[in-house]
């Protein structure tokens, strides 16, 4: 999902149309307030941000986005009529990833969006992840341990995938909850433990690779 923050409805729709045509999901937003509301609902993959906004200045919005834990790593492209070199330098140095000045070619914009997404995309498009005897094929949605195929439920699969992608790294229960379950969880819950248990069981011998780090979390491998 890409958010386009731009007060001029025509430009917004034009950009939106071009990006949709290239296969992106987009949402047009007229100002910083609408952006805030949208971020509450969903953190986007990318934000196109105009500088000349009616209420709050685009640079101010940029600063807020970079300070917010949720959006501090979201790629941001400034799209604006402000065209002096100093403007660009300011925007880039404040944490924008690209700076495109109006009028711009729509093809260039799309190419730049792609380039930025390419660079920012988490490198997790690996097809097959292997650790020791454990093998997980993302595309085929298959998991095997020592060659023997396993029947994993959805959560078990997602949990194992997350562990595999972060093998060697300690993952706290909160982080696991956040990434695999998709929501912050406060307080106690044995949910993660439970799934770790069934995973260990189903993995048989390889289950021993999932280690408990007391008071911290779990870790796969090393």
Partner DNA sequence: ATAATATGTTATAAATTTATCAAAGAGTGG
Partner DNA sequence: CCACTCTTTGATAAATTTATAACATATTAT
Q: Which residues bind DNA (CB under 7 A)?
A: 151, 153-156, 173, 181, 189-191, 193-197, 200, 212-217
121 binds, among DNA, its own copies, none (CB under 5 to 8 A by kind): none
212 binds, among DNA, its own copies, none (CB under 5 to 8 A by kind): DNA
Q: Name which of 28, 69, 67 is nearest 47 in CA terms.
A: 28
Q: Cβ(30)–Cβ(3) under 8 Å?
A: no
Nearer to its own copies, 139 or 188 (CB): 139
| Nearest approach, Cβ of residue 208 and DNA (Å) | 11
Nearer to DNA, 63 or 211 (CB): 211
**Separation between Cα atoms, residue 134 and residue 57, nearest integer Å:** 51
**Separation between Cα atoms, residue 172 and residue 153, nearest integer Å:** 22
**Bridge partner residues of 49 (DSSP):** 5, 78
Sequence-ordered list of residues with C-beta below 8 angstroms from that of 196, at least 6 positions apart, any chain? 159, 210, 212, 218
**Separation between Cα atoms, residue 69 and residue 135, nearest integer Å:** 33
| Nearest approach, Cβ of residue 119 and its own copies (Å) | 5
Per CB under 8 A, does 81 bind its own copies? Answer: no
- Return residues touching its own copies (CB under 8 A): 73, 75, 85-86, 88-89, 92-93, 95-99, 105, 107-108, 110-112, 114-116, 118-120, 123, 139-142, 153-154, 168-170, 213-216, 219, 222
């Amino acid at each position: 999902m890409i958010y386009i923050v731009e007060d001029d409805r025509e430009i917004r729709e034009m950009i939106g149309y071009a990006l949709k045509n290239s296969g992106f999901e987009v949402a047009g937003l007229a100002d910083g307030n609408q952006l805030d509301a949208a971020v509450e609902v969903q953190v986007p993959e990318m934000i196109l941000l105009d500088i000349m906004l009616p209420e709050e200045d685009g640079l101010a919005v940029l600063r807020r986005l970079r300070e917010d834990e949720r959006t501090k790593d979201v790629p941001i492209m400034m799209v604006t009529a402000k065209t002096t070199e100093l403007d660009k330098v300011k925007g880039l140095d404040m944490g924008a990833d690209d700076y495109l000045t109006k009028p711009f070619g729509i093809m260039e914009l799309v190419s730049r969006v792609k380039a930025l997404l390419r660079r920012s995309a988490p490198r997790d498009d690996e097809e097959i992840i292997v650790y020791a005897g454990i093998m997980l094929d993302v595309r085929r949605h298959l998991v095997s341990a020592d060659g023997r195929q396993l029947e994993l439920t959805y959560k078990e699969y997602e949990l194992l995938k997350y562990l595999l992608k972060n093998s060697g790294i300690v993952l706290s229960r909160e982080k696991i909850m956040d990434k695999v379950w998709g929501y912050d969880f406060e307080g106690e819950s044995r949910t993660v433990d439970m799934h770790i248990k069934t995973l260990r069981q189903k993995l048989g011998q390889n289950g021993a690779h999932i280690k408990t780090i007391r008071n911290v979390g779990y870790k796969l491998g090393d």
